[in-house]
Amino acid sequence: MDDTPKQLPHSLPALRDKAAAAGFTLSSEDRTGSLLAALAAGRPGGRILELGTGVGEGTAWLLSGMDGASRLTTVELDATVQAVAREELGADPRVTFAAGDGGTWLEDFDGAPFDLVFADTWPGKFTHLDRALELVAPGGTYLIDDLLPQPGWPEGHQPSVERLLAELDAREDFRCVRLAWASGLLMAVRTA
């Protein structure tokens, strides 16, 4: 079976061109993106949080799966990188961009929980994990990627991944599944 996604967001080629021009190489890969779109499609009228906008490739995948009543908030530390996403995707009224430190954003957020949280950066994954998980609604999904060894990982990164996985597996309020697929994923669903 070929697991190459067949339905790509229309904005993906432009985002990839701009990412290449900016030297940005940290975008989610297509199989992860297709899962994001499917998860978003499964939440009609859903509230979605993305931690780590980057240039917006993951954002584009999420938007491609969302219905008209769904809303996406996406947070990125690097405003210059996020500007690419804002330029390509900012006209979509379903998305709100927040520029700033993801950890600070998580600490300060006081709104309703989210149906889907995609943590694609350190805050919400390796830092501020408990806070990110608090923001997942009952029955909601928490997804993280980049758990398999990647080129350019800093020294000592693997033990951080192992600690994170052990912590998530030990939680009784989430049901976790590890996916040794794409860049290495973990999906956790908050038990009701």
Q: In this predicted structure, what is the pLDDT of residue 16?
A: 82
Q: CB neighbours (10 Å) of residue 50?
A: 32
pTM, two decimal places: 0.94
Which residue type, as a one-letter code, is found at position 62? L
| Residue 70: predicted pLDDT | 98
DSSP per-residue codes, 53-106: -TTSHHHHHHHHH--TT-EEEEEES-HHHHHHHHHHHTT-TTEEEEES-HHHHH
Query: What span, in angstroms and rounded, lies between the C-alpha atoms of 68 and 53?
Result: 20
Q: Which pLDDT does position 71 carry in this prediction?
A: 98
Question: What are the residue ranges in the chain where pLDDT is below 70?
Answer: 24-26
The pLDDT, as a whole number, for residue 98 is: 98
pLDDT for res 76: 95
Give the pLDDT of residue 14: 85
Locate 127 and state its tokens. Answer: 């830092």
Report the alpha-carbon distance of residue 98 to residue 123 in Å, rounded.
14
